[in-house]
Each structure stands twice: as structure tokens, then as C-alpha cells.
Amino acid sequence: MKKPIVVVTRRLPEAVETRMTELFDVRLSLDDHRMTSAELVAAVEQADVLVPTVTDNVDSVLIAAAGPNLKLIANFGAGTDHIDVMAAQHHGITVTNTPNVLTEDTAEMTLALILAIPRRLVEGERLIRAGKWDGWGPTAMLGSRVSGKRLGIVGMGRIGQAVAERARGFGMSIHYHNRRRLHPSVEDALEATYWDDLDQMLPRMDVISLHCPHTPATHHLLSAERLKRIRPTSYIVNTARGEVIDEDALADLLSTHKIAGAALDVFQNEPAVNPKFLALDNVILAPHLGSATVEARTEMGQKVLINIKTFVDGHRPPDRVLPI
Ligand code: 8YV
């Protein structure tokens, strides 16, 4: 039987590429560059299966350009806001993703940022590298204690809950806003307080951490108006998607110290970073590292393999994504 043509847009961990080569007629990315629109069109014209990542814009125009054989888009990543899932469905193309296997890694990165921003860790590192540190001082570089503070989690899915579990270990109290309230047993285990109204929660939190997907409903969820509700002593951490925050409004509030600080792992126009952030000392900028561990990326690749294999064998793939 003819093996399906699988086009992978970026380099994946070696073990994953090796297994893909054994199973499929795979076209790998040799130099890991971001595919141009023309290259993506050529890919969807020839592929039976496309394996994109967050760096590929799989919009309705690209999906309309797909050849008759493209039946599966097996995304390498959990978030699928770069894929027009509705357009794919209209064209009879199934979309899958890689949930669960990056939960712990993303939560760990979030905790690193929750600790680093109030304690001015990266700012201090920059000070030393700039040769400007003139030694310890009783009032030098004072930050804020994390223990005993209120953490407001926006989006209490798998990653939000994993962050809550870890933050409790650092003595934070857990508050959350979510479309649906958690089961009482989960709430009890996390000693989590539910806020139905995000506008009510925001002014009462010391650290706000975002864990919702980017959808039309969450685009600029932290709008200029909402950001103004946050206390000047509070911090924002974003390991979800840049589009969930109005970046210009956030930068303005940070520069005037109406918000104490922000740690951002994701940006609206990656890899471009809003230049306003670059000039600010009270911001940590990380290059989308949430799931960047050998373990997570390998397991994400294994999920992609399983999704493709089950699909081409005629079964329902385990991680199907439906339009919102
Ligand atoms: C991935 C992510 O690395 O899975 C996601 O949604 O944001 C990242 O952690 C990226 O999506 C890979 O495509």
C-alpha cells in the first residue's frame, strides 16, 4: 500500500523524525526555516497530511489551496489559533493537536516567571552584565514577596490547574476565572476561589497568570479597560498567547508603573516583540519557551505520530480539534 505523504514544516526531535520516516512518505524540514506562504501552498498541494507548528499561518486561504489529498492537519502543539479549524472542517480536513504532554513543562515555566518577576531576577542579571552592580545594599533592588500573595489564574484548564498546584507550594492563595466553575472536589483540593466576574477578580490579585486559549472570545481579554483595574503593586504573567493582552496598553501601564511588572513568554506578532517592551526594566521577555523541554517536544512528536497513524488506519485520532 502507498504510504501517505506527510509534510512537516519544521525540524522535530530526531527520534520523532526517524519514526515518521519509517511509517510515512515524509518530507522533513532540513534547515528548520519558517516556511514562506508559497512553500506552505506547495506543501498543502502535495500532502496527504500536513504537520504545522505555531509558526505557520494555516488560514482559510491556505486551506482553500489544498490539494484533494489533504485530509489531516496534525498540529505539533496544543494551541490551534494559527489554524482556521472551521475552514478545515468545511473542506473535510481533520485537525488534531498535542494536549496534556506539555502541561507540566508550561506550568514550570510559569512558576519560574511568577517567582522571577517580583524578585527582579532578570533585571538584576542585566545589571551585573552591564557592569553596573556596585554591591549589596540594604535597600538595593527590593522586590515583592511571593509567599502569602494572591494568584489570579485566568483559564483554569489543565495548565491553569498545574500552575495552581505548584503555586500553593510557594504559599500563594489560588483564585481563578474560567468559563465554567471547576468541580467542587477540584476546587477544594486546590483551595481555589472562583470569580465569575473577571472585572471583580483583577483588582484583588497580586499576580495574574493567563492560561486560556486565544479565541475570538479571549482576544484582548485583558483590554486597556481591564488592565486599568489591576493594582500598581501587581504583576502579570503570560505563557498563553500574546493576543490575549492589549500589548500597547500593557506597555503604557508598565512604563508609568501603574502595573508593577510583567513576564511575557508569548507575543502577539511573534517573533516580533512590541518595541515598547524592550525599553522597560520591569518586564521579562522570554522567547516562547513554555513547552521547550526535550521531554515535552518528544512527547508532542509522539502524539503527532499517533494522531496520523490512527487517522490513516481509518480510526478517529485521539486528539481531534473541533471548531469553536
Ligand atoms: C508549542 C504552544 O511549542 O503548544 C502550544 O500551544 O504554545 C507551544 O508550547 C508550539 O505551539 C508548537 O507549535
- For the chain, the average pLDDT equals 98
Q: Which atom of ligand 1 lies closest to the CA of 75?
A: 13
CA separation for the pair 231, 202 (Å, rounded): 8
If pLDDT is split at 50, 70 and 90, which confidence band does 1 have?
confident
CB 67 within 8 A of CB 42: no
- Give the closest residue (by CA) to ligand 1 atom 6: 79
Ligand 1 pocket, residues with Cβ under 6 angstroms: 53-54, 76-79, 102, 290-291
> What percent of the chain shows pLDDT beyond 70?
100
The CA distance from 62 to 40, in Å, is: 7
Cell numbers representing residue 248 in the block:
500597547
Query: To 10 degrees, what angle do helices 103-116 and 121-129 make?
Result: 70
Question: What single-letter amino acid sits at 278?
Answer: L
% of the chain residues with pLDDT over 90: 99
Q: What is the pLDDT of residues 9-50, one digit of tens each?
A: 999 999 999 999 999 999 999 999 999 999 999 999 999 999
Q: Please identify which residue in the block is written with the cell numbers 517580583.
A: 118
CA of 251 to the centre of ligand 1 (A): 24
Q: What is the pLDDT of residue 133?
A: 98
pLDDT single digits (tens) 52-104: 999 999 999 999 999 999 999 999 999 999 999 999 999 999 999 999 999 99
What single-letter amino acid sits at 202? L
Cell triple for residue 25?
Answer: 512518505
The preferred substitution site among 96, 101, 243, 288 for testing ligand 1, maximizing ligand atoms within 8 Å of CB, is 288
pLDDT by residue (tens digit) across 209-219?
Answer: 999 999 999 99
Grid cell listed for 259:
502595573
Rg (CA), the chain: 21
Q: Which of 261, 197, 250, 196 is nearest to 227 (CA)?
A: 250
The one-letter amino acid code at 25 reads: D
Amino acid found at 308:
I
Q: Give 7's DSSP letter.
A: E
Cis peptide before 216 (omega within 30 of 0): no
Domains of the chain with bracketed CATH? 5-101+294-321 (3.40.50.720), 103-285 (3.40.50.720)
Contact 178, 161 (CB under 8 A): no
CA–CA distance, 214 with 265 (Å, rounded to integer): 14
Q: Give the mutation target among 9, 12, 32, 54 for probing the ligand 1 site: most ligand atoms within 8 A of CB.
A: 54
Ligand 1, atom nearest to 240 Cα: 7
The string of pLDDT tens digits covering residues 256-313 is 999 999 999 999 999 999 999 999 999 999 999 999 999 999 999 999 999 999 999 9
Q: Whose CA is nearest to atom 10 of ligand 1?
A: 77
pLDDT value of position 236: 99
Count Cα neighbours of 203 within 13 Å in the Cβ-side half-sphere: 7
Is 149 within 8 Å of 207 (Cβ atoms)? Answer: yes
CB 33 within 8 A of CB 12: no
Exposure string of 310-323, with b = 16+ CB inside 10 Å and e = fewer, is: bbbeeeebebebee
